[in-house]
A = this chain, B = another copy of it.
Amino acid sequence: MEHTQSSTLPASHTLGALAEFLSAELVGDETCLISGIATLAEAQSSQLSFLANNHYLKFLTTTQAGAVILHPDVAADFHGNKLLHPKPYLAYAKLTALFADKPRVAEGVHPSAVVSDRADIHADASIGPHCVVEAGASIAAGAQLGAGSFVGENSQIGQNTVLCANVSIYHGVTVGAECLIHSQVVIGSDGFGFAPDGKGWVKIHQLGGVVIGDRVELGAGTTVDRGALDDTCLSDGVIVDNQVQIAHNVRIGANTAIAAGCAIAGSAIIGSGCTIAGMVGIVGHLTIVDGVHVTAKTLVTKSISKAGSYSSGTPMDESANWRKNAVRYGQLNTLAARVKSLEKLQRDPDAES
């Protein structure tokens, strides 16, 4: 018995059809058959390529691609079949959907899955092998649960949302429609809440849930904790890379992008349209407005009230040089005092100490 549908080779498309799909201007042979996408350097004659960065302009003279997506401004630099589009990178992104060959979980409930009688599984949903769905959970039409995934009590998985293999969703979690949740993601684990009692820690049971909007993507190994009292909330269109930690009661605005290895502490509020680069830390109980960009490995230690780009950290250097400068860092306050003292003497030479 097959538990995933057999994947077929992705269909080929004529260049004319692709031009129409993209609303791009076609220059060349509209019957040219395209069976895939590749970089300019690697493309074969049956493949389409694209130029999104003029750094790669030189490859236009040597590429074997059957056609290339170009900005109209550089159309003259390529003499083969071309699709002219004002945003070649966006055009490429849209085309990848046509050539994606992602296996689907077979429709229906796999016999090895353990599904509560009191769960609500839509007839068009797909529940993979060894999945577990608890009482009160609902799985909407078109949703897919990859092998070994767990959906806890009263949690809801929205329409066409895909959980890859081995995802863990605790109880009381809502995931919207058209989401993609990668393997080893955890949603709804306890927030890290404890009160000291003089001897040790008293656990603060986490009574809130998690609400995730539509079209959210969570990368492999990412964890999203449930709220302490209110819910942790990710808005529509939020995209999160691998191994990101989102603590209890964090709220993230629409279409914000968070790269791998970030950790966002409890009750932080992040606006919409932000881009958070890799390994950024955001401390708890602060607010970041819309449209903020934070560069890699920055620690955000205070609220950000103005859109713009923010950073912390020091530049990389050869370790031998770095070590000398690092030692001086520990003397910086003293150095500043010494400069101030020199300035004073400069202004008033008789003040010699």
Residues on A lying within 8 angstroms of B by beta carbon are 1-4, 6-7, 36-39, 42, 87, 89-90, 92-94, 96-97, 99-103, 110, 112, 114, 116-118, 128-130, 132, 134-135, 146-148, 150, 152-153, 164-166, 168, 170-171, 180, 182-184, 186, 189-190, 192-197, 199-207, 215, 217, 219-221, 223, 225, 229-230, 237, 239, 241-243, 245, 247, 254-255, 257, 259-261, 263, 265, 278-279, 281, 283, 293, 295-302, 308-333, 335-336, 338-339, 342-343, 345-346
Contacts and interface: CB of A to CB of B under 8 A. Distances in A.
A150 B165 contact: yes
Contacts of A171: 7, 102-103
A229 B42 contact: yes
A301 B215 CA distance: 31
Contact of A243 (B99, B223, B301, B328): B223
A168 B166 contact: yes
Contact of A261 (B168, B180, B263): B263
A213 to B, nearest CB: 11
A93 B194 contact: yes
B254 A200 contact: yes
Given A207-B96, A237-B201, A315 B330 contact: yes
Contacts of A323: 311
The interface centre, meaning the residue of A182, A278, A330, A338 with most chain B CB atoms within 10 A of its CB, is A278
Closest 9 CB pairs of A and B: A93-B195, A168-B183, A100-B205, A96-B205, A189-B220, A309-B319, A261-B263, A150-B165, A186-B220
Given A189-B242, A196-B90, A221-B186, A299 B328 contact: no
Given A192-B241, A229-B38, A311 B302 contact: no
B318 A310 contact: yes
B311 A316 contact: yes
Given A38-B229, A132-B148, 10 more contacts: A37-B229, A90-B202, A93-B193, A99-B205, A114-B129, A150-B183, A186-B221, A261-B263, A308-B318, A328-B336
A103 to B, nearest CB: 5
Given A183-B170, A263-B260, A329-B314, A220 B223 contact: yes
Contacts of A103: 134, 152-153, 171
A9 B87 CA distance: 54
B316 A298 contact: yes
Contacts of A301: 296, 315-316
A200 B216 CA distance: 11
A245 B153 CA distance: 29
Contacts of A186: 182-184, 220-221, 242
Contacts of A321: 330, 333
Contacts of A130: 114, 130, 132, 148
Contacts of A314: 312-314, 326, 329-330
A222 to B, nearest CB: 8
The interface centre, meaning the residue of A220, A243, A265 with most chain B CB atoms within 10 A of its CB, is A220
11 contacts: A2-B118, A4-B134, A42-B229, A96-B206, A148-B150, A164-B170, A200-B254, A281-B296, A297-B299, A302-B316, A332-B332
